Amino acid sequence: MRHIMVLNSKGGCGKSTLATNIASYFATQGAAVALADYDPQRSGLDWLARRPADRPAIAGVAGFEDGLRHAPRTADILVIDAPARSHGTELTDLVKHAETIVVPVLPSTIDMQATTTFLEELKSVPKIAKKDAKIAVVANRVRDNTLIFDELDEYLTKTRVPYIATLREAQNYVRAYTRGLGIFELPEYLAWPDWDEWEPLTAWLRTKRSQP
Ligand SMILES: Nc1ncnc2c1ncn2[C@@H]1O[C@H](COP(=O)(O)OP(=O)(O)O)[C@@H](O)[C@H]1O
Ligand SMILES: [Mg+2]
């Protein structure tokens, strides 16, 4: 079973948005997918509750209650939606569950600053330092041609953590979440720009590059 975790100690950067979309992506590809929600705010489980019965099923796991004890053994892919404010031993414990970690970051000075500190902490977790888990950063909610995006782009290029994809700010994410879907499940004429932006991320997730 693959374990893909979406993680950043900063709240509101898009962890649940990325986790639900990664889960939906693999489900639409025919994989058996489970989504473990480690955040007591339950966004991941709330999204699953909204999911229409005629879409590929995704199993829900209340990770914040009892970890992965009830995760279905038959899942090919387990996506983990992590809570904000994960630090210290809690962070080390969380990272034990994953071989692949995706870190979303917003183009804002506060978020970039917080993420710099977080990435340093993450890189010092022994499992990551030993490369027993691979990490990548994704720029999220980017509005093109803004100065702050240029700053984010420059910042991400300097972090020495692979910078995999840039996702725009789009109502499609809100629209999809409300309906229990991912952007891959919206009509092509609406969502094709987002599908294009996700391509490098899904390509990374599909290959060995994202695995130890
Ligand atoms: N690319 C995006 N475009 C538009 N809205 C987004 C995007 N990514 C996230 N959001 C919105 O930002 C808010 C925070 O995202 P969320 O995924 O809940 O973050 P986190 O789980 O890290 O707290 C939500 O309202 C979500 O719909
Ligand atoms: Mg969340």
The pLDDT tens digits for 96-131 are 999 999 999 999 999 999 999 999 999 999 999 999
pLDDT at 145 over 80: no
Look up residue 118 and give its two tokens. Answer: 């977080």
> What's the Cα-to-Cα distance from 188 to each of 80, 96, 177, 184, 191, rounded to whole Å?
27, 37, 17, 8, 5
pLDDT at 179 over 90: yes
What pLDDT was estimated at residue 144? 79
Average pLDDT rounded to a whole number, residues 3-7: 97
Closest by CA to 108, choosing from 5, 7, 6, 14, is 14
pLDDT at 174 over 80: yes
CB of residue 83 inside a 6 A radius of ligand 1: no
Q: Please give the Cα distance from 158 to 145 (Å, whole number).
A: 20
Average pLDDT rounded to a whole number, residues 178-195: 98
In angstroms, what is the span from residue 54 Cα to ligand 1's centroid?
A: 25
Q: Ligand 1: which of 7, 152, 173 to mutate, judged by most atoms within 8 Å of the beta carbon?
A: 173
Q: For the chain, what percent of residues have pLDDT higher than 70?
A: 100
pLDDT at 141 over 90: yes
pLDDT at 210 over 80: yes
What pLDDT was estimated at residue 160? 86
> What's the Cα-to-Cα distance from 134 to each of 62, 90, 98, 103, 162, rounded to whole Å?
24, 19, 9, 11, 9
Confidence label for 187 from pLDDT (cuts 50, 70 and 90): very high
DSSP 187: -
**In the block, residue with structure tokens 């374990």:** 3
Mean pLDDT of the chain: 95
In tens, the pLDDT along 17-70 reads 999 999 999 999 999 999 999 999 999 999 999 999 999 999 999 999 999 999
Would you call 64 helix, strand, or coil by DSSP?
helix
Closest-CA residue, ligand 1 atom 17, reads 14
Confidence label for 146 from pLDDT (cuts 50, 70 and 90): confident
What pLDDT was estimated at residue 157? 87
What pLDDT was estimated at residue 57? 97
Does the CA dihedral 109-111-113-116 come out positive or negative?
A: negative
* Closest ligand 1 atom, residue 17 Cα: 17
In angstroms, what is the span from residue 133 Cα to ligand 2's centroid?
A: 21
In the chain the domains, ranked by start, together with CATH numbers, are 2-197 (3.40.50.300)
